[in-house]
Amino acid sequence: MGEYTDVKELSFKDASKELEFIVRALESGELELEDSLAKYARGVELLAELRGRLANAEQQVQELLSDNVEIEADSTSAPVDSFMNE
């Protein structure tokens, strides 16, 4: 598979496009067996990388949301108008 760029060097968008191209090529049924096997292996590699990146992004979002909830929960300041009536 030396003809392919390392999946870690591809942007998410480029990896997704390549995976889509591979799926279409495999579905066409026009590839030789060896080409089909090589493309299938590359597709598995791309899919694993994309899933890993998505899981990482999801984890980062969850951490940001969790941090935001903690900030809101720690905010114990009184309402602005509470001191006006004293």
Residue 65 forms part of a structural domain: yes
Residue 18 forms part of a structural domain: yes
Residue 2 forms part of a structural domain: no
Residues near 70 by beta carbon (within 8 Å), at least 6 away in sequence: none
pTM of the predicted model as reported, rounded to 2 decimal places: 0.72
The pLDDT assigned to 75 comes to 61
The pLDDT assigned to 1 comes to 44
Local confidence pLDDT in tens for the 86 residues of the chain: 457 899 999 999 999 999 999 999 999 999 999 999 999 999 999 999 999 999 999 999 999 988 877 776 666 555 555 545 55
Q: Domain total for the chain? A: 1
Tokens of 31: 């590839």
Residue 30's domain comprises 7-73
Residue 79 forms part of a structural domain: no
The pLDDT assigned to 85 comes to 53
Residue 20 forms part of a structural domain: yes
Residue 39 forms part of a structural domain: yes
**CATH code of residue 15:** 1.10.287.1040
The answer to whether the CB of 12 falls within 8 A of the CB of 40 is: no
79: helix, strand or coil: coil
CA distances from 12 to 1, 16, 47, 52 (A): 20, 6, 11, 11
